[in-house]
Amino acid sequence: MSHGSGERGTTRLRAAPRGASGRVLVLVAHPAMHRSRVNRVLASSILGIEGVTVHDLYDAYPDFDIDVKREQALLLAHPIIVWQHPFYWYSTPAILKEWQDLVLEFGWAYGPGGHALNGKTFLSAITTGGPDTAYQPGGYNRFTIRQLLAPIEQSMHLCGIRTLPPFVVHGSHRLTDADIEHSAVGYRRVIEALRDGRLDPDRLDGPSLAAATLTDSILAPGA
């Protein structure tokens, strides 16, 4: 279970309690959450939801001293894994790289006998400074988000984890409070749909999973 509920937006993000379990594990990584405009609101919007464990990595390991056993236990206790973070240098904040290096162990997550995570589902929930138009061939950033996320997608693939199209909030610097709130509502819908198994992975193959595109078309039939 995730943390006790609090008022939205004011609740401080925290490390998940030891032994937490549920359907969705959201690993939040933002080194300065108090300065974040978007990530804080996104994370707050899913705090306290039934079946969703929110785990602030920078709160759990302020000195990067990651407790591997604890992280592996959290992974085993949730079928769906979400990374929520700003898109720093087309990648994750440093602690998520450290997390990968340490937690996804050879012989456990991959390699001979490394099947612990087989069959799980992975979602990147990221915020970018640039607008969506920048992330395309010929654009400022030349590649799509999904292309830039290829190393992560491949890492997950190596661990037998299926990667969904990323949930992206673009142009975070220019968003109004209302825009952010709108994104947060969409984010919550995505997380809830994931939790309830209403997202149909087979219908999801787009470049990204923006809130606006989260229509009934991608919900599993009959859900």
How far is 198 from 120, CA to CA, in rounded Å? 15
**What DSSP assignment string belongs to 58-122?**
HHH-TTS---HHHHHHHHHT-SEEEEEEE-BTTB--HHHHHHHHHHS-BTTTBSTT--TTTT-EE
Q: Report which residue type is found at 214.
A: L
**Among the residues of the chain, which ranges form H helices?**
38-45, 57-60, 68-76, 94-103, 145-148, 150-158, 177-195
Q: Name which position in 9, 17, 19, 111 contacts other proteins (CB under 8 A).
A: 111
What is the smallest separation between the CB atom of 126 and other proteins, expressed in angstroms?
23
Q: Does the footprint of other proteins cover residue 102 (CB under 8 A)?
A: yes
Q: Does the footprint of other proteins cover residue 104 (CB under 8 A)?
A: yes
Q: Does the footprint of other proteins cover residue 69 (CB under 8 A)?
A: yes
How far is 49 from 153, CA to CA, in rounded Å? 27
Nearer to other proteins by Cβ, of 107 and 151: the residue is 107
Q: How many residues bind other proteins (CB under 8 A)?
A: 14
What is the smallest separation between the CB atom of 55 and other proteins, expressed in angstroms?
18
Interface pattern 180-219 for other proteins (x via CB under 8 A): ----------------------------------------
Nearer to other proteins by Cβ, of 67 and 132: the residue is 67
Stretch that binds other proteins, among 32-40, 74-82, 111-119, 207-215 (CB under 8 A): 111-119
Q: Does the footprint of other proteins cover residue 105 (CB under 8 A)?
A: yes
CA neighbor of 182 nearest in space, from 146, 206, 210, 208: 210
Q: Does the footprint of other proteins cover residue 76 (CB under 8 A)?
A: no
Per CB under 8 A, residues contacting other proteins are 63, 65, 68-69, 101-102, 104-108, 111-113
